[in-house]
Amino acid sequence: MSGEGRQFVTTNDGRKLILYWLTAGQGFGGVAMLSTPTQYYASTELVSDSCALVWDRPTIREMVSRYPQLLDNALSIAATEHIAWSISTQISLSSNDARGRIANLLASLACGIGKATSDGVELTITNEDVAGGANVTPFTVSRALSEWQRAGVLTKGRGKVLLHKPLLLACG
């Protein structure tokens, strides 16, 4: 209903890899709608003050049986948003260098979770978050952000990035 969250996995070496960012109104935990209990492959956490609606499996299953549009909506989201994110991530990993992956991720996040300000688009995100999403090290993220900051493309701060010129990420 309000707030932001993210879905992630934790690697064997303890790194958190963010798979998908959630904004107000988006659903998560949809496998609870399935008739057979299924393992959750990712965890979900809220990253800001948030309000979420929660149903247990029997309740959501009853709602889906009475209102089949709920299942259609959940499948539509899975087939469009989540798969599109997965495809774009795979394309980026296969065709971009580290700097390009960071730029693509920041541009994507600006459209998804960015907050418009008078100075640009603000992202509440850490170097570790970007590193996990772009499959690079936090040091590589820090170096790229510093270069873009010197070029005036963005301003970085603790846990925040302010994109002044998101379109210049690829060439800044």
State the DSSP string of 63-125: HHHH-THHHHHHHHHIIIIIHHHHHHHHHHHHH--HHHHHHHHHHHHHHHT-EEETTEEEE--
Look up the CATH architecture of domain 97-168. Orthogonal Bundle (1.10)
* Structure tokens belonging to residue 118: 């008078």
- Which pLDDT score, from 0 to 100, does residue 147 have? 94
Task: Give the domain ranges of the chain.
Answer: 5-94, 97-168
- Which pLDDT score, from 0 to 100, does residue 17 have? 81
- Which pLDDT score, from 0 to 100, does residue 170 have? 56
- Which pLDDT score, from 0 to 100, does residue 172 have? 43
Query: In degrees, to the nearest 5, what angle opens at C-alpha 137 toward C-alphas 134 and 138?
Result: 100
Taking 50 as the pLDDT cut, the residues of the chain under it are 171-172
Strand order in the sheet with 115-117: 115-117, 120-123, 160-163, 154-157
- Reported as a single tens digit per residue, the pLDDT across 158-167 is 989 999 987 7
pTM (two decimals): 0.69
